[in-house]
Amino acid sequence: MLLYNVTVILEDSAADEWLQWMQETHIPEVMATGKFVSNRLLKVLDSPNEGQTFCAQYVVEDLASYEAYRTLHSPALQADMQARFENRFVAFRTLMQYVD
């Protein structure tokens, strides 16, 4: 199992709109790809950054599923976020492996 983490730092003025969009639109679209087995959305409380920081986390069973998501679905989903929240956020993505 792998964890795909997307950390997003938003301007305060965009945070509420982004959060609603994530919960109602983006996360359901990501999950509809069928590549992930679960997800969660977290707010970072002690971020050193200005604005508001969130982490969207998606659990994927294997690297092949993640790569298929990244190749087939991620570009369009990221472009949608970029268009909706242009110049109001920064994001970085991390793929992590669970350690037993």
Listed by start position, the domains of the chain span: 2-97
Distance CA(97)–CA(80), nearest Å, equals: 27
Give per-residue pLDDT as tens, 38-89. 999 999 999 888 999 999 999 999 999 999 999 999 999 999 999 999 999 9
**Distance from CA of residue 14 to its chain's centroid?**
16
pTM, two decimal places: 0.94
- The whole-angstrom distance between residue 62's C-alpha and the CA centroid of its chain comes to 18
Q: Is the pLDDT of residue 35 over 90?
A: yes
CATH code assigned to 2-97:
3.30.70.100
SS3 35: coil
